[in-house]
Amino acid sequence: MKNAEAIEKRRTFGIISHPDAGKTTLTEKLLLFGGAIQSAGAVKNSKISKTATSDFMEIEKQRGISVATSVMAFEYGGKQINILDTPGHKDFAEDTFRTLTAVDSVILVVDVANGVEEQTKKLMEVCRMRKTPVIIYVNKMDREGKYTFDLLDELEQHLEIKVTPLTWPIGMGDRFKGVYNLFDKNLNLFQANKTKISTDIVSLSDINDSKLDELVGEAPAQELREDIEVIEGVYDEFSREDYLSGDIAPVFFGSAVNNFGVKELLDTFCRISPSPRGRATDAGFIEPSEDKFSGFVFKIHANLDPKHRDRIAFLRIVSGKFERNTFYNHVRLGKKVKFPNPTSFMAQDKSVIEEAFPGDVIGLYDTGTFKIGDTLNEGADFMFKGIPNFSPEIFQELENLDPLKSKQLDKGIRQLMDEGLAQLFIQQPGNRKIVGTVGQLQFEVIAYRLLNEYGANCRFVPKGYAKAVWVTSENSEQLNSFMRSKSNSLAKDKDDNLVFLAETSFLLTMAEQDYPDITFHKTSAFKLEKQFN
Ligand code: G4P
């Protein structure tokens, strides 16, 4: 296949939501439509259970399943669709942030009753920063929820993005009759049915047609007409350009569990979503159409069998064509590497592939040569930018309980950090290891894996830090004075960048005021922030 053809065909995206909004259900329905799975339940089992579990066997089992569902590819409407799975569990948010660097667009699922929730806001922040095009799917219309116009206001305010509805619900909960497609001007009538795909689509180019009253009842029909008048006055007409630039998010309404509104979503997605996009490197922007192969690692999965340290590195292809058994440049190591068994994840079956194209995600077996963010390319020296680390929320010091195993502990913690399980900050004096995570669950996983895979016994001691910010300044006098006064709260990250571990947000604000020439960056990708803003 030619590169240009392959690029045009591919659509790589992620589905994100606050837990319970319906991400898994929607993913499953999309796979059912795409014929990638035959029955519901296949994806459901992959969920990390919502209650933070201390059952390690459960964590191990989930790790295995989540390799299988990391990428789900299928063909639909002439496109090859690659869905990248993002863990819903809050403690794995960092993993989701990284996956967002490997997608070209996002579908955001919102629960009609709960509206914008905490996790959604954070994920949207990452999308805004990267200008990722977003489609919003308002789910659970079969239940009572927020008044539709209020919900749209809430989306605009809390997600800080303009929205424009492409479908419009007629009632909700028990009174839910269906949706009117404002774009295609047809009516999709709702039937609660978990097994059947809704096909009751009635063309209705004139909203004043009396057919509408017959189909949904007089009062709902009248309400819809009034709503549409308001919509036309208030919301901008949909512009694909504004969607692609991340300035406006089209909104759909449906009920994923009832297969409702999913087909419109998928059809529109195929029509408007972007084909694979290029990425920024330290030597300029790389377009997917470039001849030479390039890609980056955004996720690493450890082997389930602790006796085998091999891992799977997930590589997103950015440009050119990847070929099996061909030597490529591992830029960070300055080494040539080739892969005899690269795998694809078509329809959930792992299979060895001969070639892969921009937008594709492939799995590479790795014995410890990859770190998250690594670049692989064909005869060039550039590195992709932008797998940023965000501030962790919980900080604990790692203490070695067995001095004879300190080497194992050092190696283990370094490898687990390469996988992106948490962030490590080194504090002086004494090379103290401060581990930062977004959830308590990670500490349990780290301690368990250090012991089981590396034989290193450790414990974690809570530290009173609340936020990590990366510090830069051109004013060396001010920086030195800051470093003297905050020596107890400073550390270095894995790349030797200076990090301020603030005990409270207030102390951070104070530091910002006291040291105006110092910049306190929210992510480790501060060299890139300028490009995004
Ligand atoms: P998540 O991945 O975002 O966490 O959400 P998930 O799909 O697991 O959905 C969360 C719950 O919401 C599930 O119920 C699911 O069945 C339900 N749900 C999803 N879509 C709809 C919808 O359109 N309408 C209604 N009423 N419910 C919906 P559960 O009780 O947690 O699980 P289950 O026992 O039903 O599988």
**In tens digits, what is the pLDDT along the chain, a chain of 533 residues?**
678 999 999 999 999 988 889 998 898 888 888 776 655 555 555 454 444 344 555 665 565 555 556 788 888 989 999 999 887 666 677 788 889 999 999 999 999 999 998 888 888 988 998 899 999 999 999 999 999 999 999 999 999 999 999 999 999 999 999 999 998 888 888 877 666 665 667 778 888 888 889 989 999 999 999 999 999 999 988 999 999 999 999 999 999 999 899 988 999 999 999 999 999 998 999 999 999 999 999 988 876 566 666 788 999 999 999 999 999 999 999 999 999 999 887 555 668 889 999 999 999 988 888 988 899 999 888 999 867 777 888 999 999 999 899 999 999 998 888 888 889 999 998 899 999 998 888 898 899 889 988 899 999 999 999 999 999 999 999 999 999 999 999 999 988 999 999 999 999 999 999 999 999 998 877 654 443 33
8 Å CB contact between 506 and 513: no
C-alpha span between 224 and 222 (Å, rounded)? 5
pLDDT of residue 498: 95
DSSP state of 484: H
3-272 with 394-532: one CATH topology? no
H or E segment to which residue 63 belongs: helix 56-68
Residue 210: count of CB within 10 angstroms of its CB: 10
**Relative to the CA of 254, which ligand 1 atom is closest?**
23
25 lines ligand 1 (CB under 6 A): yes
C-alpha span between 219 and 176 (Å, rounded)? 13
Q: Hey, what are 18's tokens?
A: 């606050």
Provide the whole-model pTM.
0.85
C-alpha span between 141 and 19 (Å, rounded)? 17
30 lines ligand 1 (CB under 6 A): no
pLDDT of residue 270: 94
Instruction: Kindly report the protein residue whose alpha carbon is nearest to atom 6 of ligand 1.
Output: 22
C-alpha angle 220-183-160 in degrees, rounded to nearest 5 = 90
- Mutate which of 15, 20, 144 to test ligand 1's pocket (most atoms within 8 Å of Cβ)? 20
C-alpha span between 496 and 389 (Å, rounded)? 13
Q: Hey, what are 340's tokens?
A: 């005899």
Q: Hey, what are 231's tokens?
A: 């919509």
Taking the chain, what is the end-to-end CA distance rounded to the nearest angstrom? 37
Instruction: Kindly report the protein residue whose alpha carbon is nearest to atom 25 of ligand 1.
Output: 140
C-alpha span between 189 and 261 (Å, rounded)? 10
C-alpha span between 459 and 201 (Å, rounded)? 60
Distance 139 CA to ligand 1 centre (A): 10
- The backbone torsions φ and ψ at residue 72, rounded to the nearest 5 degrees and listed phi first, read -125, 115
pLDDT of residue 531: 38
pLDDT of residue 80: 93
C-alpha span between 37 and 76 (Å, rounded)? 13
pLDDT of residue 196: 61
For the chain, give every domain's residue range. 3-272, 279-377, 394-532
pLDDT of residue 34: 79
Distance 194 CA to ligand 1 centre (A): 12
The CATH number assigned to the domain with range 279-377 reads: 3.40.50.300
> What CATH topology corresponds to 394-532?
Alpha-Beta Plaits (3.30.70)
pLDDT of residue 64: 55
**Relative to the CA of 27, which ligand 1 atom is closest?**
7
pLDDT of residue 68: 57
**CA-wise closest residue to 313 among 324, 297, 329, 327:** 297
410 lines ligand 1 (CB under 6 A): no
Sequence length of the chain is 533
8 Å CB contact between 122 and 86: no
C-alpha angle 242-246-250 in degrees, rounded to nearest 5 = 65
Instruction: Kindly report the protein residue whose alpha carbon is nearest to atom 4 of ligand 1.
Output: 20
> What CATH topology corresponds to 3-272?
Rossmann fold (3.40.50)
